[in-house]
Chain A
Amino acid sequence: MEFFVVQTLSGFSFAAVLFMLASGLSLIFGVMHIVNIAHGSYYMLGAYIGLSIYWVTGSFALAILGGALAIAVIGYGMQRFFLRRFFYPFPQVMMTMGFAYIFRDLALLIWGGDPLSFPAPEMLQGSIHLGEIVFPRYRIFIILIAICVAIGLWFFNEKTSYGAQLRATVDDHEMARGVGINVPLVSGMMFALGAFLAAFGGVIAAPAFGIYAGLDFEVLPLAFVVVIVGGMGSLKGAAVGSILVGLVDNWGKALFPDFSYFTLFLPMAIVLAIRPSGLFGEKVS
């Protein structure tokens, strides 16, 4: 019983991180129809910058905000000055790849390649003891944060006028411009938001999962799998996809450790075979 609870909760905490990573990717796809190869880099750099801010200020909150905002700015800059120059996806995707290489080397240059640890704030440290069950407090925190982010995104998307502008821009650039929406600004902000989410996820995850060289290309396939499973451009898809992938991966490793590597790709393969555009994805013609 205790095993079941702990494993499931662990799966959810992993899913929480995946959600923040994948929702950003999905968002970016939604607005620009490109796959951001630098998305893993955003995650990693967000964590590194957050850590540096923490070293300087000692404030966890500042670290999270600072790390995420810094990457949001970088994302905006990338989109505005480099990616928007093209009107079809292929060169945009290639450029994000070039950036991924640069970010990777930059991280090595600035922070070195040794793994670094990000201490969680005092009150979030330690574990909760409920009878036989021992579960790290910080991971509960991650789950709660992810839920807040999900609610926030949903609210923003469905209930605010900004969200409406966003949806209009995604649906039809021309028409959106026609009704007076500042399309370049909106798409830039959306891209920045996607970057923000990835970096936010990186900083939040850091105390539990660590920061080290190579993190960028390790999390990238994870984000892809979630989005393939959940469907591109869909927030619901990112949520469902993360939960599915997080739980299957966790339980897969626990029950069939010999196939650990493939537990990640199993949901993806199944979805691809049955419903190629993902569970909630827009139909790609």
Chain B
Amino acid sequence: MNLIKIIDKLRTKTVKKFAYGLLVLLILVDFIIPRPEIHFFGDKIPGFWSLFGFISCALIIVVSKWLGQHWLMRDEDYYDK
């Protein structure tokens, strides 16, 4: 089916490189973008939200997994015991 072929084509190294290029572009453009509304310090720093996004993602994964493994996660039949 065509749809499957398109998805297969998107799963190549070239697409991956293109995606990395896009990330660099995101930060570069952030240097020249107009900033009409400044609510707090982060709004003034170019690339702030890139860093924020990356750190948030890492924090959520690491902290949640830590909480899960040390405290919250149980076997599936935990409540039946």
Does A associate with B in a complex? no
**B interface residues, Cβ below 8 angstroms from A:** none
